[in-house]
Amino acid sequence: MTTEQDAPGQIHGLGREPKLTDDRVTMAHGSGGKAAAALIKEVFMPAFSNPASIDLPDAATLQVETGRIAYTTDSYVVQPIRFPGASIGELAINGTVNDLAVTGARPQWLTAGFILEEGFAIDELRRIVEDMRVAAEKAGIQIVAGDTKVVPRGAADSIFINTSGIGVVPSQRTLGASRLEFGDRILISGPIASHGMAVMIARGNLAFTATIESDSAPVNGLVEAIYDAINPESVKWMRDATRGGVATVMNELTKASGKGVLLDEEAFTIEPQVQGACDMLGIDPLYVANEGCFIAVVSGEVAETALAALHDAGASQASIVGEVVRNPQGLVAVRNAFGGTRLVDMLVTDPLPRIC
């Protein structure tokens, strides 16, 4: 005869590991209950598991060397969430890794927060998480903590991701606009404008199509290559040329330093299909977002060495694109192939296509 004490053992599934049976995200996946546990166990842990997060503590504890750390955060809301060359997941890793790398830090750890819209396909979530795993591995960093929230349908646009990252800054690495000197040279690590144009085209409302892939990539390896090749003190300033593109980053530099920048338009590499798309829409590639290329300002006498290091590290299209100059003071100018010079000002708003 069964007694009341035996009953729990007879109830099917009690005490068993929760299983993920849904194919869409529901409000229950953000509730902290079984559905949430199943999502973490089956989607996130297989990709992100590491010693710091294996027991799912409330916070990861990390061993740091003495010295300085770099700490940053960024949120990713790109639409569409998948486009030629990358996805929101890959972007969420590379973007934060690159923000750390261009401050001179070696990126080490990332956290990932997900805001999911009710109804989001779990298969798509798996693919995004897999993209993040691959990107993290490529960049050599660990994802040590995470969080998931689900919001009702319409309260978010499919998926938003926030990543925060910590990197360790080796001593001797000090960057800053105040360190600029006239004659410093400006290096760029690769072709420009492909990410922004890839996303615009992937949105699918243009009257033309073109095969343009986002340049999304981690740049920490390239940054290390520069530091390995030249005296760390010769590296003055770095920035990844994301939103607002090269033009915006250069304007930030001239505003902060009070010095001028003269760019050589011909020295930039722009893929022909990217240039074509920009021309058709009347958009200046200097203002278009990049996700895998950065700008480094280095002492003039070591610029060629730094460039060679970038080439050797695989950035075959890296180039020297300009110089820190006395005039125009506090402004960015670009010299074109004809010898004409124009000003490159801050953008007033997002680049919107011209009508004719």
Partner 1 sequence: MKYVDEFRDPAAAKDLIASIHKMAEQLGCSWKIMEVCGGHTHTIYRHGLEHLLPEAVEFVHGPGCPVCVIPSGRVDDAVWLSGQPGVIFTTFGDMMRVPGRAGSLLQAQAQGSDVRFIYSPLDAVKVARDNPDRKVVFFAVGFETTAPSTAAALAYAKKIGITNFYVFCNHVLINPPVRAILETKNVTLDGLIGPGHVATVVGSDHFQFVATEFRIPIVVTGFEPLDILQAVAMMLKQFAEGRCEVENQYSRVVRPLGNPEAKRVLEEVFTPKDSFEWRGLGSIPVSGYRLSDEYESFDAEKHFDLPGAVVADHPACQCGLVLTGQIKPWECKVFAKGCTPDNPIGTCMVSPEGACAAYYSFGRIPQILADEGKPE
Question: Do residues 247 and 287 touch, judged by C-beta distance below 8 A?
Answer: yes
Q: Is 297 in the site for partner 1 (CB under 8 A)?
A: no
Exactly one of 172, 178, 316, 341 binds partner 1 (CB under 8 A); that residue is: 341
Question: Do residues 256 and 177 touch, judged by C-beta distance below 8 A?
Answer: yes
Residue 205 burial (CB count, 10 A): 6
DSSP 161-206: EEEEEEEEE-TT----GGG--TT-EEEE-S--SHHHHHHHHHT--S
Exactly one of 162, 276, 311, 315 binds partner 1 (CB under 8 A); that residue is: 276
Lay out the site mask for partner 1 across 231-260 (x = CB under 8 A, - = otherwise).
-----------------------------x
Q: Is 300 in the site for partner 1 (CB under 8 A)?
A: no
* 3-class DSSP assignment, residue 145: strand
Give 12 or 354: the residue with its C-beta nearer to partner 1. Answer: 354
As a whole number of angstroms, the distance between CA 293 and CA 263 comes to 16
Smallest separation (angstroms) from partner 1 to the CB of 350:
9
Give 81 or 331: the residue with its C-beta nearer to partner 1. Answer: 331
Cβ burial, residue 55 (10 Å; 0-12/13-18/19+): exposed
Cβ burial, residue 101 (10 Å; 0-12/13-18/19+): buried
Smallest separation (angstroms) from partner 1 to the CB of 124:
24
Length of the chain: 356
Q: Candidates 52-60, 136-144, 185-193, 268-276: pick the segment binding partner 1 (CB under 8 A).
A: 268-276
Exactly one of 206, 210, 230, 256 binds partner 1 (CB under 8 A); that residue is: 206
Q: Candidates 16-24, 79-87, 214-222, 343-351: pick the segment binding partner 1 (CB under 8 A).
A: 343-351
In the window 147-186, what residues touch partner 1 (CB under 8 A)?
182
Smallest separation (angstroms) from partner 1 to the CB of 337:
4
Smallest separation (angstroms) from partner 1 to the CB of 351:
9
In the window 72-131, what residues touch partner 1 (CB under 8 A)?
none
Query: In sequence order, what are the residues at sequence separation of 6 or more whose Cβ sits closer than 8 angstroms to the Cβ of residue 125?
Result: 25, 43, 116, 159
Task: Write down the residue that tokens 């509730």 correspond to.
Answer: 31
287 DSSP assignment:
G
Q: Is 301 in the site for partner 1 (CB under 8 A)?
A: no
Chain center to CA of 241: 10
Q: Give contact residues for partner 1 (rule: CB under 8 A).
A: 182, 205-207, 260, 262, 272, 275-276, 279, 284, 325-329, 331, 333, 336-343, 345, 348-349, 352-356
